[in-house]
Structure 1
Amino acid sequence: MLWRHFRAARFSGFLSLWNVGGSVSSRQVRRHVRAILSPMEPLRLPLDCTAIESILPHRYPFLLVDRITEFEADKRIVGIKNVSLNERYLSKRPGEQAVVPPTILTEAVAQVGAILILAKPENRAKLIYIVGIERVRYRHPAHPGDTVNIEVNVKRLRSRMGQLHGVATANGKAILEGRMTFALGPKT
């Protein structure tokens, strides 16, 4: 057995090997290391709610993204939110059409950006924290029946921090635009 000859441990993404007696060929070690460090499954587009739930910690009714249609690692992502009349958060005054609150749209853009960052295998065991929202402009309201297309681009990206720029459109009109700063932290 290979385990009688050496022990392997993985701490914070680093692999430590130490020999506990006997001889082990380098081919056996490479094969075992590949098995331990095998990469996670790549994303297959389009991502549906089930695939999104495997990336984000959010669940219904707080999951505000229905589908991911485009994805370029560390560059951009495009998601879709279908607004239905059954949404609990719709604000409606008598005699007026129901409207999605701007804060919900901002959260939807943040969730699409979080999918972009957390989709990387090294970030899957982390949480993303939005630490700043800047220059957010609400141009037009979103109504039930609208399909909101959310595009998020990376402006700056470091190992534990970054900045995203998001644009949400519906019916060919920009309804929201803004920047978000995020930080990555460990899951507790």
Structure 2
Amino acid sequence: MKIRVSQFIDFAYGDKRQDKAKVKSIISDLDLPYDPIKDRYKQFREALISFENKKISTEKFRSLHSSVSANKSTGYQVLCQNYLDLKEDHALIWQGHSPVEADISGLSITTAWYLRTEANNQRRIIFLHFGKEQLPRKKERGLLTILRLARPESAGVGILNIQPGTLITATRMDQREAEYLQGRAKKFLACAKSLQADV
């Protein structure tokens, strides 16, 4: 079973009295079709790929805001410039759209979109997160823990939290968080199996 990282984090930190209902809603959400109308960052991601694959110039990437709707224009302008600045300042190496799978107690979790830095021949992974608002602290820490479990060989794991107003790199990790999420993953699977048995 593959679910989105954000869905699992919502379950892990949600209302514990509603575990079965939450698992049921996550499983049913897997059947929902992709809705491009709700995908605010689709054009940014596509331009980012083109830019990193050298299909468009830095100037064209920087001027992306002029070709999007008015309600996205200002945010896109800041996004593109901040991405270029942060990438240069931190010597980030683009790794593209490479899915990363974390297996936590048999629960397979997939995410993608990452850059990396290299220090002392160790990899430090920085994943891109696209969202209208900054991740809540609990969700951010949980996501970092899952990514660390997915890439145990990396020296550290971070999130490049992309929003219209800013870019934030987060690197908080906690072993207790990992143990907690492993326990919740077992609970998720137990709920999923009981739902299948009810069918």
TM-score > 0.5, shorter chain as reference: no
Using the size of structure 1 for normalisation, the TM-score is 0.25
More helix by share: 2
- Which has the greater radius of gyration? 1
Using the size of structure 2 for normalisation, the TM-score is 0.24
Higher RCO (CA-CA < 8 Å; seq separation 6+):
2
